[in-house]
Structure 1
Amino acid sequence: MDKDLLFKYNTPGPRYTSYPTVPYWDKTPPTEQKWKELASNAFSISNNKEGISLYIHLPFCESLCTYCGCNTRITINHKVEEIYINAVLKEWELYFSIFGETRPVIREIHLGGGTPTFFSPENLTNLIQGLLKNSNVHTKAQFSFEAHPGNTTDEHLQALYNVGFRRISIGVQDFNPLVLAVINRHQTYDQISRLTKKAREIGYTSVNYDIVYGLPFQKVCTMMETIMRVVQLRPDRIAFYSYAHIPWIKPGQRKYSEKDLPDADKKMAIYETGRNALELSGYYDIGMDHFSLETDELYKAQQEGRLHRNFMGYTDTHTQLLIGLGASSISDSWTGYVQNEKTIEAYYEKIKAGSLPVFKGHNLTKNDLILRKHILRIMTQFETTWKKEEEVCVDLYKAIDRLSEMQFDDLVEIEPFHLRVTEKGKAFVRNVCMAFDAKLGEELPATTQFSQTV
């Protein structure tokens, strides 16, 4: 890859799991009643057609991984499990007043965190059975969960398999002992190897590994070693993420300083090394930061033009309604977003009062919906088209103007009513989307809130 281009376009940018991105949501969010209306409308459209999706945030961890940017609560007190699960199930019950007498059809469930496997197998079983008690499961349902290799047991794997889970995402991050020590991640290659093999033995059909580049003390040689060990275990898909250093937002990152991080030149070399090694090992670039084998459903969905992206990342399943349950979870009705209270105490307080625990959100305007559509297409298909009628969306044509330099650099091809990201431009797909981001174009955030685009 052209080194000059890497430096030119390597700027902080959103990952575009939504548009507008969270920092640019309405200063006056939708009321609880307004969100109920949006969710009800989306449910009536989505449920009978493709079902609905559920994301459940399980925020507890026994120790803090210092690189982590997620909403977490550190504790070794496992008595919190049942209290939290009861609150999540109560929140789910509140949504049934929106659904009316129609049973929800569950197409997708994802357990994120935090550390979902902080919870016991029994409590996770109770959670899923409670969610499904008055629901129907879609014939093509996909259930997935995030697993910490340090505490995910055979019992966890079997219990979640028994209630319908077939996909597992394992937090590898790196295999180098020095890197793992400084990010407070206690796990071994043998643990990850055993977890992978056991999941496949039980019957899981898709195994994902998360790897992060740009971590403290990473080097090109250590990343090469990590990738080589990863491909030996042959996960079906791999998320290869850029580390975002934001200690003013996540104080845990103050355990190390900027001088411990690879500089821009080294970080790009680490990224290039990892990317090239993955592609040479038979993994295909299916979207920003994501690689998969051609036998995996993500690859097939990308090839067939049905790959989707939402707050859970890339998925081969698309539903109009995504409901987020638990503290800090985000819900999406396509025409609006809401986020739940971030602190567990505030979340509990609203649940106890019988209210949906939303505290911020955004109503999408007509322009928002047009731009969202194009950003989603670029993120999932590396191209987009538009109709002449969309000329009324001035922001769309401003986006095309902003891409003139990327067109000159052969990163995009632009024709009347059509844009395509070139093979060379795929590494810069976030930059392409940023051109369509009217909110970002109007106002840069006061502090860095996004990771580097490369």
Structure 2
Amino acid sequence: MTLENLIKKYDLPVPRYTSYPTVPFWDLEKFDNQKWIKAITRAFNESNTEKGISLYIHLPYCESLCTYCGCNKRITKNHLVEEKYVETVLAEWDIYLRHFKQRPVIRELHLGGGTPTFFSPQSLNNLITRLLADCELHPQHEFSFEGHPNNTTFEHMQVLFDLGFKRISLGIQDFDEKVQKTINRIQPFDRVREATENARKIGYESINFDLIYGLPHQTRASIEKTMDFIKLLRPDRIAFYSYAHVPWKSPGQRGYSTDDLPGNVEKRALYELGKAKLSEFGYYDIGMDHFSLPQDDLYKAAKNKALHRNFMGYTICNTDLLIGLGASSISDAKYAYAQNAKKVETYQEIIATDVLATFKGHFLSDTDLSIKNFLLGILCKEEATWDQLVFKSLATKAFTDLKTMKNEGLLLTSSQGIKVTALGKAFIRNICAVFDKKLQDANTHSSELFSKAI
């Protein structure tokens, strides 16, 4: 089967697999906060001393709407909201601290959004300083934050660097002016260059650029233009994501039609072109949608098969406990997931009553845990060893699908497990979907649940 036919066949709505089970298939009826607290203290007690824990803080505010964005955000120019939000996050963290019998060892800390640099340097300093006051730092801790090139100042970077942040991720998406105007993400190349140079001048060890392929009005020429700018700035990492067109979830995407988007075959061609250019520039293909220069820790982790994946995406920090703070944040306590209330006001009102703002979650069965670890092997190592519970969970159709994918050259199977081929990397989400018992039991590829794989 030709690559074009494979793309047409597998361009189906499937999860991105930052968790298993994925959020739409969580068993919400069995979730309650008391059980959640037991799950998180269990994970904490098992992993805190040796591995440490991860923290994700969702800072949802943005001054303007980027119409492509599917994240949970709040658009405002009123910066008076900063103080109350910071105090609420700290109050939430204090609730968790009361359930821990020892000081947390922080291995990983990430500020996401929204736009974290919507917050002033003073607000961020207040948040991080007080957050870490009752914590220990893991010897190999990694602190990172996301920034918008237009409002991430030298002072932002310096304050966070002084607090221990050594990695910055800048949201670029595309350098083409027509594309930027369509998605309302206008940022001149000179501003991106200034932000990049400032980060290097201060001493940041790793700079990531987020790029997206499949955006409205993108062409091969515009991708080449974007990649030429990448060559000039040479960030240490690149996240080259597939655009997720989900207008039922993100109304801002209704500002353009599907006629403005590249078709599935052309969209994949944009990715392959970008990938080829990055390879030419010395970047290595890491995991799914990520690229890295060889000196970066992401490349080293991938080479040593130590890459990990969680709700923050790919990371070098293989912790068993990720606590999400802030509106809409999701936590992963190894044995359970939980998500906070999405609306800022609701989140703040609940935390004000001195209880956690988690409103839904899922407790993993033994089979769930086995499938979760199996999928992590596929996504992080491009291979996975058979597990008895995984094998038993497969329906007859799954074995047929695996045989078909093997014949198509997407994977290799043996008595030990499976390996993803170079061709199969383009369809890794589809391969994972074969082992997704919840998805297979539901027998759905609903476009209302997931973005398309290609």
Task: Write out the 4+ residue segments of structure 1 that deviate beyond 3 Å after TM superposition.
Answer: 389-392, 396-401
Shift of the alpha carbon at 1:30?
1.8
Residue by residue over 1:167-187, the C-alpha shift from the partner in whole angstroms, topping out at 9 and shown as x without a partner, is 000001000001001111121
Residue by residue over 1:86-108, the C-alpha shift from the partner in whole angstroms, topping out at 9 and shown as x without a partner, is 000000000012103x1001110
Aligned residue identity for 1:433: C
Q: 1:97 to 1:445 in 2, by over 3 A?
A: farther
Residue by residue over 1:225-248, the C-alpha shift from the partner in whole angstroms, topping out at 9 and shown as x without a partner, is 101211221111101111111111
User: What is the CA–CA distance in structure 1 between the aligned matches of 2:446 and 2:428, rounded to whole Å?
Assistant: 24
User: What is the CA–CA distance in structure 2 between the aligned matches of 1:29 and 1:185, rounded to whole Å?
Assistant: 41
1:3-42 pair list within 5 angstroms: 3-42=4-43
- 2:131 is the alignment partner of 1:95: no
Shift of the alpha carbon at 1:391?
7.1
Aligned residue identity for 1:140: Q
User: What is the CA–CA distance in structure 2 between the aligned matches of 1:390 and 1:449, rounded to whole Å?
Assistant: 26
User: What is the CA–CA distance in structure 2 between the aligned matches of 1:227 and 1:442, rounded to whole Å?
Assistant: 41
- 2:356 is the alignment partner of 1:356: yes
Equivalent residue, structure 2, for 1:222: 222
User: What is the CA–CA distance in structure 2 between the aligned matches of 1:12 and 1:4, rounded to whole Å?
Assistant: 17
Shift of the alpha carbon at 1:400?
4.2
Aligned residue identity for 1:161: F
Aligned residue identity for 2:275: R
Residue by residue over 1:106-141, the C-alpha shift from the partner in whole angstroms, topping out at 9 and shown as x without a partner, is 110000000000000000011000110111111110
- Asked if 1 retains the 8 angstrom alpha-carbon contact of 2:248 and 2:448, the reply is no
User: What is the CA–CA distance in structure 1 between the aligned matches of 2:324 and 2:30, rounded to whole Å?
Assistant: 17
Task: Count matched residues.
Answer: 452
Shift of the alpha carbon at 1:15?
0.9
Aligned residue identity for 2:11: N
Shift of the alpha carbon at 1:393?
2.7
- 2:332 is the alignment partner of 1:332: yes
- 2:239 is the alignment partner of 1:234: no
Q: 1:281 to 1:400 in 2, by over 3 A?
A: farther
Equivalent residue, structure 2, for 1:432: 431
Equivalent residue, structure 1, for 2:303: 303
Q: Which secondary structure does the structure 2 equivalent of 1:235 belong to?
A: coil
1:187-336 pair list within 5 angstroms: 187-336=187-336
- Asked if 2 retains the 8 angstrom alpha-carbon contact of 1:149 and 1:191, the reply is yes
User: What is the CA–CA distance in structure 2 between the aligned matches of 1:401 and 1:375, rounded to whole Å?
Assistant: 19
Shift of the alpha carbon at 1:445?
5.7
Q: Which secondary structure does the structure 1 equivalent of 2:448 belong to?
A: coil
Shift of the alpha carbon at 1:446?
4.6
Q: Structure 1 stretch 282-291 or stretch 162-171: which is displaced more?
A: 282-291
Residue by residue over 1:209-261, the C-alpha shift from the partner in whole angstroms, topping out at 9 and shown as x without a partner, is 00001111111111111012112211111011111111111111111111111
Shift of the alpha carbon at 1:294?
1.1
User: What is the CA–CA distance in structure 2 between the aligned matches of 1:146 and 1:12, rounded to whole Å?
Assistant: 27
User: What is the CA–CA distance in structure 2 between the aligned matches of 1:393 and 1:127, rounded to whole Å?
Assistant: 47
Equivalent residue, structure 2, for 1:154: 154
User: What is the CA–CA distance in structure 2 between the aligned matches of 1:391 and 1:312, rounded to whole Å?
Assistant: 25
User: What is the CA–CA distance in structure 1 between the aligned matches of 2:284 and 2:85, rounded to whole Å?
Assistant: 39
Q: 1:298 to 1:397 in 2, by over 3 A?
A: farther
- 2:139 is the alignment partner of 1:139: yes
Q: Which secondary structure does the structure 2 equivalent of 1:272 belong to?
A: helix
TM-score calculated relative to the size of structure 1: 0.97
Shift of the alpha carbon at 1:6?
2.2
Shift of the alpha carbon at 1:50?
0.8
Q: Which secondary structure does the structure 1 equivalent of 2:8 belong to?
A: helix
Q: Which secondary structure does the structure 1 equivalent of 2:279 belong to?
A: helix
Equivalent residue, structure 1, for 2:52: 51
Shift of the alpha carbon at 1:450?
2.1
User: What is the CA–CA distance in structure 1 between the aligned matches of 2:236 and 2:396, rounded to whole Å?
Assistant: 39
Q: 1:397 to 1:367 in 2, by over 3 A?
A: farther
Shift of the alpha carbon at 1:390?
4.0
- Asked if 2 retains the 8 angstrom alpha-carbon contact of 1:121 and 1:155, the reply is yes
Aligned residue identity for 1:84: Y
- Asked if 2 retains the 8 angstrom alpha-carbon contact of 1:242 and 1:451, the reply is no
TM-score calculated relative to the size of structure 2: 0.97
1:408-427 pair list within 5 angstroms: 408-427=407-426
User: What is the CA–CA distance in structure 1 between the aligned matches of 2:44 and 2:347, rounded to whole Å?
Assistant: 23
Q: 1:399 to 1:446 in 2, by over 3 A?
A: closer
User: What is the CA–CA distance in structure 2 between the aligned matches of 1:391 and 1:450, rounded to whole Å?
Assistant: 23
> Gaps (5+ residues) in structure 2?
none
> Gaps (5+ residues) in structure 1?
none
Equivalent residue, structure 1, for 2:392: 393
User: What is the CA–CA distance in structure 1 between the aligned matches of 2:138 and 2:408, rounded to whole Å?
Assistant: 45
- Asked if 1 retains the 8 angstrom alpha-carbon contact of 2:7 and 2:264, the reply is no
- Asked if 2 retains the 8 angstrom alpha-carbon contact of 1:196 and 1:207, the reply is yes
CA RMSD between the two structures: 1.4
- Asked if 1 retains the 8 angstrom alpha-carbon contact of 2:13 and 2:445, the reply is no
- Asked if 2 retains the 8 angstrom alpha-carbon contact of 1:383 and 1:419, the reply is yes
Q: What percentage of residue pairs aligned between the two structures are identical?
A: 52
